[in-house]
Structure 1
């Protein structure tokens, strides 16, 4: 908790000092919002930079890829072909990063509609349950049955959920009895979707950086460090937020908070 203290002197009618009063204001939420604003502004600036980098890297990369492919096809030496294959694989990895940069730098799609959050969760679960990172772990869902509809992009919310679910699968790697649970609930005028895993957890000093571009705690080659960056941008674009709680060797919880715009009773009465 963060407090701001104000102290006021108390004097009698003759101006003689009698004492003082101290008032404490809880400014924890204010400080949190200030940090969130700074973070959003930083991501916006980096997003513009990312678009420029993606454009500058994309053109020469295409030329290098084409030449590597041509040399591979013309070469008859196995050693040369093996090394050219490695070059092509690394070019593809760079291309994938560039594509993600371009996707991030684009404005959020305007194709929004009335969406059932539970339906998006169920579809995300259907997609990821066959992924090798998740199919051997226990997966459970507890969805509040009467959630209001919200205005959002179905596909983009699906992208966010799939990304976080796959990250949860990565966090369970090497664990025999890992679990992932997904819940939805209504709290006031907000819908909260929680994705909780019993994985390795995230170090406290890393929590403030996980939404930064190219920041990843995964092993080299396992991730680009752009997935959560994109998720953050999508959710913030719909006036939501992502809250993360984590403990080492206990697990991690991602809470996606989305504002309610269209209510079920309004839909029925309309």
Structure 2
């Protein structure tokens, strides 16, 4: 180290007195001319080695300097004293703070990694309701692009629930389901847990999206309600069909009496002709009542799946006048039919129900004035077509398109319109079952529904039903013509006494031997004197023995007899069960005499 001048000694005195940090003084050649006591203490014997490695940048900024296991910050300043130029280097030992900062940085990194990797939304909130931090899951669930946008929000913009916001301000806790608001303003169900700390008065809101769970629970509740309603409807329809069977039997009895009177009175009198008209109207009314119970059972048990070959042009023309009357005088009804014939396989009464329901909804959407267009055309799909409610397989379809220019359907309502009990109409004006039944009917006949709508732009419903060629084999409707029975001995088992009396009298008028029983327990007494019975007609659901046990008893007592099972509701499960036990055929109540005679003629 060069020898210091008197000026150098003066510098040393000033530096040593006023700067407790290690200080080095270099000349203009960067040679060490001075080191204060603290520098000598820290770098004893190594000062000459340190000087060449020092970051000697001037400008009033600290530079980091590593020496072995220690960390320093250096500050360099030029000082001119008399004619000499010196470089004063001040060193600050930051080893402890450097390691602490590294530890905190690593901790922050680990915290941030853990914070963002949690599959649950996390919001750090201040007592004033300000979002201080948000993890990536929360950002995604709430629909924001980055966390910094969330940090600019107040809790009112995220949590609409007033009770939860009050708990946040009070530093309370909460766990349960509430609705949260996304960036687009839409709300969703979330399961949240609010935890507030007394230290720093910070709150953590953890949440997860349970919208699908809530929707599944709602669907389960609807399914349970539908199951209960279905059981009730099926029971009512079954009992109603039993009553209708009595009326049907009575009507058949009157028809036989009418035919006898007609043969005896030639030419027929005016009273007989009048009776013929009355009987025909009664017959039509019975058909309508039977169709009504079919619809009830369709909703209750998913449909009867009775298919007939229908030419759609002829089918639609039949109810055009009714459609116009249904829509009202203020609504213009436009019908576009295909040029050539188009065929489908469906149940006519169920299909009528579909169109009447869609037209009624269109009328309500129009408010009494507007236009409704029913357009029918053929469409071939080269590939499968995806819809929110299912998929339409590739193939040929007949499309029924119903369009109105009414108020339209809101975007939030559109996904739910086919859900049972979902309605946007005022209380008392809608049950929420109309479109649900329409959807069920269409799906029963292997079809699908497409809906396009927007508020103020009307709605279009397209029903896709598979096209039939017109040559499909379909079950032939049984003729109402009375056939000559080959079977002569018949046993009827039913708990409806009126039905037994009327049916027995009608069959006896045709020359048959008839025995009746109101319960299966009485069969053993009949077997001894009526054991050669050829046909047994039994109601499957009666008090006492179950249908299975009754059928087994019949097969034991009358092994050679043909057994026909009747019921107000013939489910596929019932048919499979009865066939396995030896049933030969089925009659769905209310049945007519000519339907029963069909079994006797074969």
Is this contact kept in 1: 2:229–2:300, CA < 8 A?
no
Give the distance between the partners of 2:301 and 2:339, measured in 1 at CA.
Answer: 34
Question: What corresponds to 2:377 in structure 1?
Answer: 185
Q: 1:46, CA displacement in angstroms? A: 4.9
Question: What corresponds to 2:228 in structure 1?
Answer: 52
SS at match of 2:319: helix
Question: What corresponds to 1:257 in structure 2?
Answer: 464
Give the distance between the partners of 2:405 and 2:295, measured in 1 at CA.
Answer: 28
User: 1:199-257 CA distances to partner (integer Å, 9 max, x unpaired)?
Assistant: 00000111100000111111221110100000000000111001110121121000011
Question: What corresponds to 1:210 in structure 2?
Answer: 417
User: 1:36-55 CA distances to partner (integer Å, 9 max, x unpaired)?
Assistant: xxx9xx98995575132454
Q: Residues 56 and 194 from structure 1, CA distance in 2 versus in 1: closer, same or farther, beyond 3 angstroms?
A: closer
Q: Greater relative contact order (Cα 8 A, min sep 6): structure 1 or 2?
A: 1
Q: RMSD over aligned Cα, in angstroms?
A: 3.1
Question: What corresponds to 2:336 in structure 1?
Answer: 142
Is this contact kept in 1: 2:331–2:372, CA < 8 A?
yes
* 1:151 and 2:327 aligned: no
Q: 1:103, CA displacement in angstroms? A: 4.5
| Long gaps (5+) in structure 2 | 1-214, 236-293, 381-395, 474-602
User: 1:93-150 CA distances to partner (integer Å, 9 max, x unpaired)?
Assistant: xxxxxx987651223224321101223322333223223x433211111111214211
Is this contact kept in 2: 1:144–1:185, CA < 8 A?
yes
Q: Residues 203 and 50 from structure 1, CA distance in 2 versus in 1: closer, same or farther, beyond 3 angstroms?
A: same
Question: What corresponds to 2:427 in structure 1?
Answer: 220
Q: Which has the larger radius of gyration?
A: 2
| Long gaps (5+) in structure 1 | 1-38, 60-98
User: 1:248-268 CA distances to partner (integer Å, 9 max, x unpaired)?
Assistant: 11210000111113247x89x
Which one of the candidate residues 113, 119, 123 is aligned to 2:314? 119
TM-score where L is the length of structure 1: 0.60
Give the distance between the partners of 1:238 and 1:124, measured in 2 at CA.
Answer: 21
SS at match of 2:428: coil
Give the distance between the partners of 1:246 and 1:168, measured in 2 at CA.
Answer: 12
Give the distance between the partners of 1:250 and 1:136, measured in 2 at CA.
Answer: 19
Give the distance between the partners of 1:180 and 1:58, measured in 2 at CA.
Answer: 35
Is this contact kept in 2: 1:216–1:224, CA < 8 A?
yes
Give the distance between the partners of 2:468 and 2:400, measured in 1 at CA.
Answer: 16
TM-score where L is the length of structure 2: 0.28
